[in-house]
């Protein structure tokens, strides 16, 4: 975009380009922009988080985790990164840390129904149907249509 033409090292614009490319499924190009943004500003919260998201979307779950951890070092209240860590650990079958991170996501934003729902799914994967049902009920208090 124009910001990149005027300020080729503008980390926010680079991060936004990375996110746009990520949303288009252009993962290699997205990572190139994320790397440029992080080279300029290693503490760029969304570029750190988005780097992890792209790794996750590419199936490189273990590679994604340190980027979400770094995001939370910079901003401990970045809900998306906490939820993303929960998703990573759940994908890896590491259910206790998954629940821990989804709970952290809820601490940050108690109105985020998806975090409650992901705890329910995690308990379901653990064979804990009663707990799963309890968490689905909590999610549906916020969003009655979630999971339907």
Q: What is the 3-state secondary structure (H, E, C) of 7-70?
A: CCCCHHHHHHHHHHHHHCCCHHHHHHHHHHHHHHCCCCHHHHHHHHHHHHHCCCHHHHHHHHHH
Give just the sign of the alpha carbon dihedral 20, 23, 24, 30.
positive
Which range of residues forms the domain containing residue 114? 76-148
Whole-prediction pTM: 0.84
Give 55 or 19, the one with higher predicted confidence.
55
pLDDT digits (tens, 9 = 90+) for 78-123: 999 999 999 999 999 999 999 999 999 999 999 999 999 999 999 9
- Domain limit, last residue, from 16, 42, 64: 64
pLDDT digits (tens, 9 = 90+) for 29-86: 878 888 888 888 899 898 999 999 999 989 999 999 999 999 999 999 999 999 999 9
pLDDT of residue 24: 74
Tokens of 10: 């503008």
Same domain, 110 and 52: no
Residue 147's domain is classified under what CATH number? 1.25.40.10
Same domain, 141 and 82: yes
Rounded Cα–Cα distance for residues 69 and 121 (Å): 22
Nearest residue to 84 (alpha-carbon basis) of 111, 51, 107: 51
138: in domain = yes
pLDDT band at 13 (very low <50, low <70, confident <90, very high): low
Domain total of the chain: 2
Same domain, 129 and 93: yes
- Complete DSSP assignment for 87-148: HHHHHTT-HHHHHHHHHHHHHH-TT-HHHHHHHHHHHHHTT-HHHHHHHHHHHHHH-TTTT-
């Amino acid at each position: 975009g124009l910001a990149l033409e005027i300020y080729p090292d503008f980390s926010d614009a680079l991060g936004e380009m990375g996110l746009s490319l990520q949303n288009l499924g252009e993962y290699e190009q997205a990572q190139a922009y994320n790397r440029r943004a992080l080279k300029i500003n290693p503490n760029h919260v969304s570029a750190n988080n988005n780097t992890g998201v792209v790794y996750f979307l590419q199936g490189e779950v273990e590679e994604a985790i340190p980027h979400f951890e770094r995001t939370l070092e910079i901003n401990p209240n970045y809900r998306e990164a906490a939820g993303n860590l929960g998703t990573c650990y759940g994908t890896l079958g590491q259910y206790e840390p998954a629940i821990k991170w989804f709970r952290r996501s809820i601490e940050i934003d108690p109105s985020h129904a998806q975090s409650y729902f992901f705890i329910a799914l995690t308990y379901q994967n653990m064979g804990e149907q009663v707990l799963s049902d309890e968490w689905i009920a909590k999610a549906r208090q916020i969003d009655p249509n979630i999971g339907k």
